[in-house]
Amino acid sequence: MKLLYQTHSPYARKALVFAHEAGLADRLQVIHHETSPTLRNPEVFEQNPLGKVPVLLRPGLPAIFESDIICAYLDTLHERPRLIPALGEPRWHALRVQAVAQGLCEAGIAVRWETVRRPEALRFPELRDGYIDKLLASYDWLENELDTGEKIHVGHVAVATALSWLEFRELPDFRAGRPRLSAWFDDFAQRPSMLATPLSGDTQDR
């Protein structure tokens, strides 16, 4: 399989960290692609009408895109304990943690548009502040709600890759006043799956 990737995308990294945690990384050929709403990548659009990575290319089968769906597919391919619980409250907890992590990435990207990516004359400070509020509220939620035991699930992967990206982009700090979340993240960041997938590079919007 081939994974269309971007070295500074939290979504792409989530899929690759998940593959490592599932023991599937050696079955993936990782191919870097730059994507942006303002810079069309024809090769990515050919596989994903949204023009975004990650995209998983499967021999003889349709491409799968969006990180949560890629993770769900990868979770069917291994013999280890499932990273997406199948039943009951453990499933819904893991999926809602994943949803908060996805929202962190979306809010962080929106803040960057209103601070460094959009031309200065077109920036909307009130919108930036609204998205910063979402970040801070989500950090507080994770401080209280994230399960920090040894059993890893997709929500952990999503949160770790989101928080790592937020630090990488120097977005509002999740550490201040959140010792439980900070300690958990520092521990998870030392996992082989995270160390094997470092973030790098800058967004190319033009």
- Classify burial at 186, counting beta carbons within 10 Å of its beta carbon; exposed 0-12, middle 13-18, buried 19 or more: exposed
- Domain of 155 in residue numbering reads as 89-192
Supply the mean pLDDT for the chain: 97
Residues 100 and 183 in one domain: yes
Residues 26 and 67 in one domain: yes
Strand residue runs (E) in the chain: 2-5, 29-32, 55-58, 61-65
> What is the C-alpha to C-alpha distance for residues 75 and 98, in angstroms, rounded to an integer?
15
CATH number of the domain residue 108 falls in: 1.20.1050.10
Model confidence over 42-53: pLDDT tens digits?
999 999 999 999
First CA to last CA distance, the chain: 30
Q: What is the pLDDT of residue 30?
A: 98
Residue 119: pLDDT band by 50, 70, 90 thresholds?
very high
151 in a domain, yes or no? yes
Q: Of 8, 56, 69, which Cα lies nearest the Cα of 30?
A: 56
Sign, CA torsion 38/44/46/52 = negative
Residues 36 and 99 in one domain: no
Residues 98 and 76 in one domain: no
203 in a domain, yes or no? no
Residues 67 and 140 in one domain: no
In the chain, the number of structural domains is: 2
Q: What is the pLDDT of residue 142?
A: 98
Domain boundary among 41, 59, 81: 81
Query: Distance of alpha carbon 113 from its chain centroid, rounded?
Result: 18
Model confidence over 98-117: pLDDT tens digits?
999 999 999 999 999 999 99
> What is the C-alpha to C-alpha distance for residues 146 and 152, in angstroms, rounded to an integer?
11
Residue 52, C-beta contacts closer than 8 angstroms, at least 6 positions apart? 11, 35, 44, 65, 66
Domain boundary among 46, 81, 116: 81
200 in a domain, yes or no? no
Model confidence over 172-206: pLDDT tens digits?
999 999 999 999 999 999 999 999 999 999 988 88
Residues 42 and 59 in one domain: yes
197 in a domain, yes or no? no
> What is the C-alpha to C-alpha distance for residues 197 and 74, in angstroms, rounded to an integer?
17
Residues 104 and 167 in one domain: yes
pTM of the shown model:
0.97
DSSP 177-206: T-HHHHHHHHHHTTSHHHHTS---------
201 in a domain, yes or no? no
Domain boundary among 81, 106, 138: 81
Residues 129 and 75 in one domain: no
Q: What is the pLDDT of residue 206?
A: 84
Residue 149: pLDDT band by 50, 70, 90 thresholds?
confident
Q: Of 71, 12, 3, which Cα lies nearest the Cα of 199?
A: 12
Query: Distance of alpha carbon 18 from its chain centroid, rounded?
Result: 10
Residues 94 and 169 in one domain: yes
Residues 150 and 175 in one domain: yes
Q: What is the pLDDT of residue 21?
A: 98
| Contact criterion met (CB below 8 Å) for 58 and 28 | no
Residues 167 and 104 in one domain: yes
Give the residue carrying structure tokens 């989500």: 138
Strands 61-65 and 55-58: what pairing?
antiparallel
